[in-house]
């Protein structure tokens, strides 16, 4: 669909998400966890501020004119995941995201869905402009995650622990192992805290566009214009503390979309959440909090693919 103009913000935005195809099977997140039940997580957590120690800048990445929101969500997730691996915010340009999008859609601005994005991401990767770090830096980051005190001591030692680096390339292609389907808000919160944030697909009623234009949190409005403008992919950045007095009308999550952050209430998601997904890995030396059991993941993949 054509971009939608936001008169109060003075710019346009586009919608291009699609629901998960009915004929594509999914891996259930709950079935590939190491333990029965979800792991303990903090009361409140921000994947950028708490996970990376900083708030990243917002980027539209072409989603003001193109329906590439599914690929923008990929870029938002990648910044956090690669910060954990490379120790810095990597460079992702508009062209990186748009090239990824049009490679997936066959150069058509038709939007796409999570299943199609995951399939391409697994097989072909997401190519970004950030130069590939040296093998020495990669090895150092892996060890730092496992033995932080030892590595800090080595780095401060007069012997200058620094293996010979390999020359950086002009860019890097980042692939994922697989993805899982999330059910319920507790699983969504777990992925914010443990797996660099979830991908959420929402229905966007007309009143939600009006709320966004006015700078309001997304909240359910039964009296608002229910016209469905389309579907949209967003990245789950933060969840808020739940207390005994919390109600569905309270803000539950903060997400990234259209170059900014947006607060969302649970009652809005109750009525408009179409799907929730996350990237899963069978081995991740950078993520010591990874709750995924590699053997269970392999068993689920085999059950689906035969």
What is the rounded average pLDDT of the residues 109-138? 87
The percentage of residues in the chain with a pLDDT greater than 90, rounded to a whole number, is: 80
pLDDT averaged over every residue in the chain:
89
Amino acid 306: pLDDT? 72
What kind and span of H or E run contains 69?
A: helix 69-86
The single residue listed with the structure tokens 């997904």 is 277
Confidence bin at 282 (pLDDT 50/70/90): confident
CA 15 remoteness from chain centre: 17
Say how far apart CA 158 and CA 7 lie, in whole Å. Answer: 60
What DSSP state is assigned to residue 29? G
For residues 299 and 32, give the distance between their C-alpha atoms in angstroms, rounded to a whole number.
9
How much is the pLDDT for 92?
97
Question: Would you identify the CATH topology of the domain 4-131+174-305?
Answer: Cathepsin B; Chain A (3.90.70)
Residue 286 pLDDT > 90: no
What totals of helices (H) and strands (E) does the chain contain, helices first?
10, 13
129-185: pLDDT as tens digits? 998 875 445 554 544 544 445 444 444 444 443 444 444 456 899 999 999 999 999
pLDDT digits (tens, 9 = 90+) for 181-240: 999 999 999 999 999 999 999 999 999 999 999 999 999 999 999 999 999 999 999 999
Residue 172 is predicted with a pLDDT of 93
pLDDT score, position 170: 67
Q: Where in the chain is the domain with CATH 3.90.70.10?
A: 4-131+174-305
Q: Is 117 a residue whose pLDDT tops 70?
A: yes
């Amino acid at each position: 669909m054509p971009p939608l103009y936001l008169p109060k913000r003075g710019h346009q935005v586009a919608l291009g998400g699609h629901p998960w195809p009915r004929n594509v099977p999914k891996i259930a997140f709950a079935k590939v966890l190491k333990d029965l039940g979800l792991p303990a997580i903090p009361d409140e957590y921000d994947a950028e501020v708490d996970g990376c120690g900083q708030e990243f800048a917002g980027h539209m990445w072409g989603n003001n004119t193109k329906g590439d929101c599914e690929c923008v969500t990929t870029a938002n997730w990648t910044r956090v995941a690669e910060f954990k691996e490379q120790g810095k915010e990597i460079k992702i340009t508009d062209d990186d995201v748009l090239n990824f999008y049009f490679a997936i859609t066959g150069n058509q601005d038709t939007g796409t869905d999570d299943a199609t994005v995951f399939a391409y991401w697994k097989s072909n990767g997401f190519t970004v402009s950030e130069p590939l770090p040296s093998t020495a830096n990669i090895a150092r980051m892996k060890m730092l995650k496992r033995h932080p005190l030892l590595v800090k001591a080595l780095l401060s030692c007069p012997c200058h622990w620094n293996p010979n680096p390999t020359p950086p390339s002009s860019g890097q292609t980042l692939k994922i192992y697989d993805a899982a389907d999330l059910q319920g808000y507790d699983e969504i919160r777990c992925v914010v805290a443990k797996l660099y944030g979830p991908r959420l697909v929402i229905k966007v009623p007309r009143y939600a566009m009006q709320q966004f234009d006015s700078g309001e949190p997304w909240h359910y409005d039964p009296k608002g214009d229910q016209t469905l403008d389309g579907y949209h992919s967003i990245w789950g950045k933060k969840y808020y503390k739940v207390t005994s007095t919390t109600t569905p009308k309270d803000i539950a999550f903060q997400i990234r979309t259209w170059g900014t952050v947006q607060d969302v209430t649970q009652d809005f998601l109750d009525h408009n959440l179409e799907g929730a997904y996350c990237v899963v890995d069978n081995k991740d030396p950078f993520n010591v909090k990874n709750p995924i059991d590699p053997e269970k993941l392999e068993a689920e993949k085999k059950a689906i693919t035969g």
